[in-house]
Structure formats: structure tokens, C-alpha cells
Structure 1
Amino acid sequence: MASLILVMGVLAGCSGGGNNGSNGDGSNAGSEASPSAGAPAASGDPVKLTMWGGVPPEAGPQAVVDAWNKEHPDIQVEYVRYVNDDEGNLKLDTAMMTGQDVDLFVNYTSSQATKRVEAGLALDLGTFGDYNIDEKMGPDAKGWQINGKYYGLPTTKSAYFVALNKDALDAAGLPVPKDWTWDELREYAKQLKAGGGYGFIQNLEPFVDPIDSVLTKDGYTKADGTSNLDHPLVKKWLETLNAMMEEDKSTPPLGEQLTSKMPVEQEFLSGKVPMLNIGAWLLRSSNNFTDFPRDFKIAFAPVPRLTDNADEYVARGGIGDYISINAKSKNQAAAWEFLKWYADGGMAPMAAGGRLPASKDADQDAALNSLLGDKADTYDKESMMYVLFDNRTPTFVRSLDQEVVDLRSQEYEKYFLGAQSVDETLAAMVARHNEYLKQTK
């Protein structure tokens, strides 16, 4: 609570005068790198950079900075891990606002990045001008622009999928899906659950993606400007999951998952639950046979769709790991040199944790070798290649304001906990969203 009060106070200071810490044209005040930024100190000591990210050091980041530090004795990088949850993001924001050492930092959602830009914490990368982000990263990069500018560099191909215990599917006579609906996943979950166990489990980060998939295409607001959170497919998502929790007993009740802090990756990799909705970070655990030994092959399926029409479906994905330079860093030029190197191939060791480089100039073969390592025969390579590389389904990057993300989760949690009906839930989400829209006009 004390940290939250501190951050709120600093945010108020950053946004004083109504300019949100930016110039009138939308560029960050004071965003230009100083002439000496990145230059070695007069004593000849190397420039020291600190990069904050959510991936554990042993899952790739430490190997990346070790390789850079060996090649660049004049610029040395230290990696600091923060957990990508509310508490961890608050820790990162507090560190930047109080002047602690943060030169580069990774944003994992567009809403987080936007908040930091509004607080004057992220540098406008147009300051440099020697790297064409659109050309390097492709058209999906534009989804990360904020007010038409890049305040970070999207570096990874993002993949979200349902991981499958292929041995369990084979035993049940079920094929690996390439295109399916939530109704079909529900049937798989009922057939795959064994004894008192579950057939399907979800990481909570992509839990709500089906709603965003629908509303990214159809709009979070209707033609009259009011909330669209009562879209019929939002209701279908709520009722389908609730039926899986309460009627089928094929997926854990949300309340149980929240209170127990259920280790979903461990549940899947131990063989207890045969289907897991998650992102590519699963691979940093599935490649780790020391902590997560397994005796089954993993297959991959796209996240199912709510709509019956496949042509109307957009999936979460595109590119991610949006890395920004702290607008208050004294070493912006040095940070920029590291960031370009990282994006264009230096990040290859990150592939071991499922993070494939997005830059067209990165060595994809090296990344794939890092991804599979000596565990290639423990994956169904055909389905992996389809989900990670060959699937041509249009994608979206979650860009909804964090306040709306929070208010809708507060309401749907009440529904899954049995505290209100589905219609009451939809009405509450719409009412709160409409109030937010009025306040932000």
C-alpha cells in the first residue's frame, strides 16, 4: 500500500499541468539523448546498463547479456528480473520514478507501455532514426505504436496456444486440432479428464483472450459510443467456461485457482492435466527436465474460437516483448546500441524459453535450435511448426486500457464465484465501462 501511494503521488507529479510529461506534439519532454549519453566515463570505466525484464535469468536473459558483455567491454549490461504481475510491475514503475538504475525495461502489454509513456518514463525511439522498425519487424509492429510513435521496440514473435499431452490424445483417439471452437474444446476436456482430475487448465494471463478476440474485431464500443462488453459472444464465453467448471467438472473453478495459486505449468507437465491454455513461455519449463520431468510428447493447437465462422476469427499473437529505454536514463545511446543488437539476433538464447526473434535480420535457424535444444524428440514437431510459424490466422495485441481490463475481471470473477448471474455480470461490466468512457472523453 505504501508503494502504491508513492507511485500515485509521483504519477500525479508527472502529469501535472495537463501535459502528461510530454511536449505538445506528443513527444516526450526531455527525450533527446544528451551528447554524452553512452560515452565511457572520463576515468575509462565502462558504461553500465541495467535491463529489467520478466523472464528468469536462467531462461535466456543471462546468456544474452553474457554474450554482449564479452563482445562489448566498454558497455556492460546487468539483467534484473521482475515478476510480470501487478506487484512486479509496480516494483518496476516505482524503481523508475524514484531514480533507481533502470536503463531498459520490457513491457508485456500495450496498456502497460501506454501508462509508462503517459508518465514520461519511456523514450521516443524516433530520437535516433537509424533503425526502421516497420521494415525490420513487419506490419504487426504498428500495433505497438502509441500516439503514432514507437516508445519501445517489439522484439519477439508472440505465440499463444493450447499445449496438449499427445500421449493422452492418442489414447483417447483424439486428433491434434488445427482449427476448433470452444464447444469442441469442451468436448475434448470431458473426454480427457481422468478420475477426479481435470481435462483442461488455463494460465491466467491469456484467460480472457477470447473476449479480446471478439471485441478487437467487433469493437469495444458500439456505433453509438456505448460499451460493447455485453456482446453475445462475451456471454457465450462466460457460460461455456462456467459450465465446464460447474457441470462438467473438467476445468478448475476460478475461485479455487485464484486462492490456491495453482501451478498450472506443473499440473500439465506432471501429466495430471492433459490440456493447458498458455503462451510460448511454457517452453522454458517444458525444456527443463530437471525441475519438470515428463514422459510424454507435447503437441500444440491454436487457441479455440468463440465464433462459428473461422474467417471472422483473430487470435492473440503478433509480436511482443516491447522493450523501452528509460526516458530518464543517462546512458540512452548505449542502451540503444544494445537494444538494436538484441533485436537483430543477440536475443537468440531467449528462444529456449519460447521467445523467437521478430526481426527479419535475426538468424531464425539459430533461434529454432535454441528453442528445441536436445529435447526435439519430446515435441510433436508438425503441430509446433504449424502453431509457431505456419498458422496464418490474423492476430491482435491486447491494447485495452488497464482500467477496463481490471473492471471487467472484477465483475466476471463475481460470476464465476457464484455471486451474481451472467446477465447481472454483463450489465455491471457495461455500466462500469460506460462510466469510464464518460470520464475519459
Structure 2
Amino acid sequence: MGKLVRTLSFWMLLVIFFGISVFGVAAAKKAVKLVVWGGVPAENGPGALVEHWNRTHPGIQVEYVRFVNDDSGNTKLDVALLSGEQIDAFFTYGVPYMVKRIEGGMVMDLSGLGADSFVRSNIGTDGIFRCNGKLYSVPTTKEPVYMMVNKAMFDKAGLKVPASWTFDEFRQICKKLTVTEGGKTRYGLFATPSVNPSVSTNLDLARIILGNNYWYKAEGKAANFDNAAHRLNAQFYYDLIFTDKSAFPYSEILSRKLQVYAQDLFLNQEAAMMPSAPWLLRYVKDTAKYPHEWVTSFAPMPVPDKKRKYYNPGALNNWILMNSKTRYKKETWQFMKYWATEGAAKYMLASGKIPTWKKVDSKMVTSGIFSGYEKLFDMDAFRRVVLDPHIRYTLDTVTVAAPEIMQILKEESDKTFLKEQSVEQLIQKVKSRSDEAIKSAK
């Protein structure tokens, strides 16, 4: 009897031991937690995306942290990355910021994880950014740039929304749309100066003309800001503000922080049109915050002439990257792939994010973005302009001193469009300072 008890006790201990071990393994798997930082508010898609992932992947739980995609928000992200705070994956919205983080050792080279094959199969090869030939990021969104138009203001001015227009035609229409009533001016245009190429509210005529790598010449050995297209671009914006008085004043853009909250001017009808990208459409649909019934239409960006094909200032964007310090490479890569494909298609369209995933077609895009809000938009114009299959996107492959050049552009543009210096001084200073930055980077 004693022997039997001892034998049973032995087996019970084994069962308990292995039970605890199995439970411990399961608990350990469930304990894997990823932290992902992004610039899109959680309520505009990322929250639902992460919630679905967590529900269907109990072994890999994700926390989404939102940062504001402006200078201070990007600084906050950089500080967190450099301090060693847990961030497994994060989004970057533009090549200069991406280059800065890659060169700063904050980003994992994805080549060893099969990223090249994944991107080729699911997204394609056009518009994919590589740094020194290596793949560090996956673009999750297509962001064509176009003019978002208040059709009611065009109608009131007796104007048709153009299917195409030249720079000169665009300037004349800006003037015709500018009206002062009761001491209050409604401007023809709201736009920001071309400082960061990834900002969709830029009026970037130089990009339209020159396309890829437009900051550089001689394959990055010198700055290209003495090119006539850059001078035209700066003078055009300057004249809209100070000569024609048809563009919203830059001083007010800065004081009201409209670089970040650009939609306020358009939806409060302080400006008739603005350069835009699909992500801003989510604000047009927010009739609780911006009550209106007038229709938003779409026009392509203006071009120098209608005889040839020019570039669209937009590009693939919303790049997701892996922190070089993550302890969970395999799990992070698994989540990154999900976001770039099924996650983006199912949860990000409502916020105006057009996925790069090949399986998303135009019907999915229009349904995902506009369902229930069709009356607020000129759907035919959207299909013609925004979903144009012949859009010629840009991709910068030369990035020498890009973060430094972006800062130089910001400093000198602020002086110019606050009327503290001339356009000629802007061009001279940006050219000479950028040449020095390139020389120092080499």
C-alpha cells in the first residue's frame, strides 16, 4: 500500500510539474508584448487594427502609441528610440526623417527577414525606398497629392473645377476665388511652402517639374537650389501671398499651427482650395466637428504646360520600420506584414489611407473611404484625379545631408515668407548652406 501511494504521488508530482511547465510556456508566449508608435490617431484606424490583431493573435499582443507627426512629435519619437524605451516598430512619414533614423542606428535592416520578397510580391518595386541598397522599411500607403476644392465656392465665383490647368491658370483662379466681405477675407488658396517633401499641403512646383532627387545635382555632390524651378517655386508662393494676396498669409499659418491642422481653414471655408492627400478626407467626413453640406471636389496639381507629363509631388508613404533594439524581431516582422496588407485594407481606408497592397482595387478604395458619405464628395472627380493609374510618383534615392537641408529650408523659408528677406536671398542662402552641409556629410 505504501509503495502504491509513493508511486501515485510520484506520478502526480510529474503531472503537476509538467502542467506548470506547459502553463509557464503558454504564459510566456502570451507575455510577448510589442509597442508600435504611429502618427495616425488610434480612433482613425490603428485602434481597430490593433484590437483585431490582439484578438486573433493571443501570443503577440500589441500596444499602439500615437505621436503627432510634427517637429516636436518626431523629436519625441527620436528621444524615445535613443533612450532605449520599448518601441518595436514605428512609422516615419518622409525620406529625410527616415534617413536620419537609419544613419543614427535606430532602424533594423529587414533584408534578413525576407522583406525583399515580401515587398516585391505584395507591393511591387516602383517607389520603394532603399538606403545604400538595403531595405529598412515597408510603405503602407499611397499618397498622391492633388487640389482639394470647395465646389460651392467655385460655383459662386462662376468657375468650373478644372480637369487640368497650368501654373498661370491656377494663379488667376486663386485671385478670382479670393473675396473680402465684412472685413473678412476668404482666400483662394491655403498651402504651405515646400520644406519637407513629404508634406502633402505643400505647393511644390519645383517637385512637379524636376521630380526625383530635386534637391541635388551631380548625384548628390552639390545642391540644386540654383535651378530655375526652385526660384520659380519660391517666387510663385511669395507672389500669391504678397502680390496677389490670394493665398493665406504664412504668418497666420505659423501662429495658428496650421501646418498640423491644415483642414481647419478648408472646412471652415477660409480658403477655397488646398493641396492635399487622401488622409485629410477623414476630416471632411467629420461633420460633427466640421458641420457642412457643400461638396468637396478634386483637381490635379497645376503644371507648367499641358504638352507633356509632369510628376505628382506625392509618393508612397507611411513607412513602417523596425527598431534596431527590439527583442522580438520575428514577432514584430509578423505584425508589420499584417499592417501593410490585410490590416491596412480592412481598417485604414476609412481614415483616407490608400493601401499599397496589390490586392486592393479602386472599388475597395472608394467603398472604404466614402461609404455613407458619398453626398459630401464629387466621386467622379475623385476617381479621375486621385485614382488616376498614370500618376507619376516621386522617389528620392539621393539623401546626402537630407535632414540638415530640410532644417535649412525651414529656417530660410520662414524668413522669406514672413517678408524678412527676398526670394533671391532665400535661393542664395539655401544653396550655399546646403552645399556646406553636403560637403560636411561627405
- For this structure pair, what is the TM-score category when the shorter chain's length is used for normalisation? 0.7 to 0.9
* Distance of aligned partners of 1:79 and 1:364 in 2 relative to their CA distance in 1, 3 Å threshold: farther
Aligned match of 1:284 = 282
- 1:385-418 superposed Cα distances (whole Å, 9 cap, x missing partner): 1222125131114565121122123223222222
Whole-angstrom distance in 1 between the partners of 2:264 and 2:433: 36
User: Unmatched 5+ residue regions in structure 1?
Assistant: 1-38
Match of 2:165 among 180, 199, 212: 180
Alpha carbons of structure 1 residues 199 and 192: separation in structure 2 relative to 1, 3 Å: same
Taking structure 1 as the reference length, what is the TM-score of the superposition? Answer: 0.85
Which whole-Å CA distance do the structure 2 matches of 1:300 and 1:331 have between them? Answer: 43
Q: State yes or no: 1:369 paired with 2:354.
A: no
Instruction: Answer with 64-73 or 178-187: which moved more.
Output: 178-187
Amino acid in the other structure paired with 1:163: M
- Looking at structure 1, the residues matched to 389 and 173 of structure 2 have their Cα atoms a distance apart, in angstroms, of 21
SS in 2 for 1:201: coil
Partner letter of residue 434 of structure 1?
D
CA distance in 1, matches of 2:186, 2:25: 59
| Alpha-carbon separation, structure 2, partners of 1:129 and 1:363 | 25
Structure 2 residue 189 is matched with structure 1 residue 192: no
Is 1:315 the counterpart of 2:312? The answer is yes
Deviations 1:348-391, CA, capped at 9 Å, x for gaps: 22111110111113466444322112101210001111222125
| Inter-partner Cα distance in structure 2 for 1:231 and 1:309 | 21
2:228 to 229, 232, 241: 232
Shift of 1:40: 7.0
Structure 1 residues 398 and 430 mapped into 2: Cα distance closer, same or farther (>3 Å)?
same
| C-alpha contact (below 8 Å) 2:38/2:67 kept by paired residues | yes
Aligned counterparts of 2:49 and 2:149: Cα–Cα separation in 1? 30
Give the Cα separation in 1 of the matches to 2:422 and 2:406: 20
Structure 1 contact 343–357 (Cα < 8 Å) conserved? yes
Whether 2:32 is the aligned partner of 1:47: answer yes
Aligned length: 401
Mean Cα deviation higher: 218-227 or 133-142: 218-227
Paired amino acid for 1:439:
S
Q: Cα offset for 1:56?
A: 0.7
Deviation at 1:231, TM superposition (A): 1.5
Partner residue of 1:209? 204
Report the structure number with the largest CA radius of gyration: 2
> Contact between 2:127 and 2:395, CA under 8 Å: does it hold in 1?
no
Per the alignment, residue 332 of structure 1 pairs with 329
Task: Report if aligned partners of 1:82, 1:92 keep a CA contact under 8 Å in 2.
Answer: yes
Aligned residue for 1:202, secondary structure, equals coil
- The alpha-carbon deviation at position 190 of structure 1 amounts to 1.1
2:79 matched to 1:91?
Answer: no
Secondary structure at 1:281 match in 2 = helix
Q: Report the alpha carbon displacement of residue 102 of structure 1 after superposing the two structures with TM.
A: 0.7
Read off the aligned partner of 1:343 and give its amino acid letter.
A
Gaps of 5+ in 2: 1-23, 194-198
The correspondence for 2:253, drawn from 253, 257, 281, is 257
The answer as to whether partners of 2:96 and 2:406 remain within 8 angstroms in 1 is no
Q: What is the percentage of aligned positions where both structures have the same residue?
A: 33
Work out the CA distance in 1 between the residues paired with 2:251 and 2:152. 30
Distance in 1 (CA, whole Å) between partners of 2:275 and 2:315 is 17
Q: Does 1:162 align with 2:147?
A: yes
Deviations 1:138-190 (A, max 9, x none): 23243x11111111111111121111011221232322223223322211111
The alpha carbon displacement at 1:310 in A equals: 5.2
Normalised TM-score (structure 2): 0.84
Q: How far apart, CA to CA, are the structure 2 residues paired with 1:219 and 1:379?
A: 34
Q: Secondary structure at the match of 1:66?
A: helix
Q: Distance in 1 between matches of 2:263 and 2:254?
A: 15
- In structure 2, the CA distance between the partners of 1:46 and 1:220, relative to structure 1 (3 Å rule), is same
Instruction: Point out the more displaced range, 310-319 or 66-75.
Output: 310-319
Counterpart residue type for residue 403 of structure 1: E
Check whether the contact 1:349–1:367 (CA below 8 A) recurs between aligned residues.
no
Matches of 2:362 and 2:165, distance apart in 1: 29
Cα RMSD over matched residues? Answer: 2.3
Rate the CA distance shift 1:250–1:398 in 2: closer, same or farther, 3 A.
farther
